[in-house]
Amino acid sequence: MPSVQEVTKMLSDNAAVVPGKLVRLDFGNEGSIFLDGVANAVNNNREVAADTTIKVSFADFLALADGSLNGTMAFMQGKLQVEGDMSAAMQLQQVTAKIKK
């Protein structure tokens, strides 16, 4: 299983951001990834206000990325919570597609 830092690098290398939006992927105690769609950058644990914060365990995020967990089902089951702009969260599949290998 990759680490948060390894996933951050994959996302950064593939410019996996939501254009024009600031999105925080919050993995709780495991850390977070900040997707800056304004500056087209990806960072770890950046303390900047986000348009959208997506709270999900890191394991569930990886499952979303590999397609073994459906985003809609994760949301309905409470495995994924969204705070802020829901439209940015709807584009999460485009982000996770960038780390599928």
User: Would you state the pLDDT for residue 100?
Assistant: 66
Q: What is the pLDDT of residue 99?
A: 73
**Angle, helices 4-13/58-66, rounded to nearest 10 degrees:** 40
- Whether the CB-CB separation of 27 and 53 falls below 8 Å is answered with no
The CATH architecture annotation of domain 4-97 reads 2-Layer Sandwich (3.30)
Residue 31 has a pLDDT of 92
Per-run averaged pLDDT (10 residues), the chain, 101 residues: 92 91 94 93 82 95 91 93 90 77 52
* The pLDDT value given to residue 91: 84
Is 74 within 8 Å of 67 (Cβ atoms)? Answer: no
Q: Which amino acid is at 74?
A: A
Nearest to 80 by CA among 55, 62, 58: 55
Can you give the pLDDT at residue 93? 77
Q: How high is the pLDDT of residue 1?
A: 83
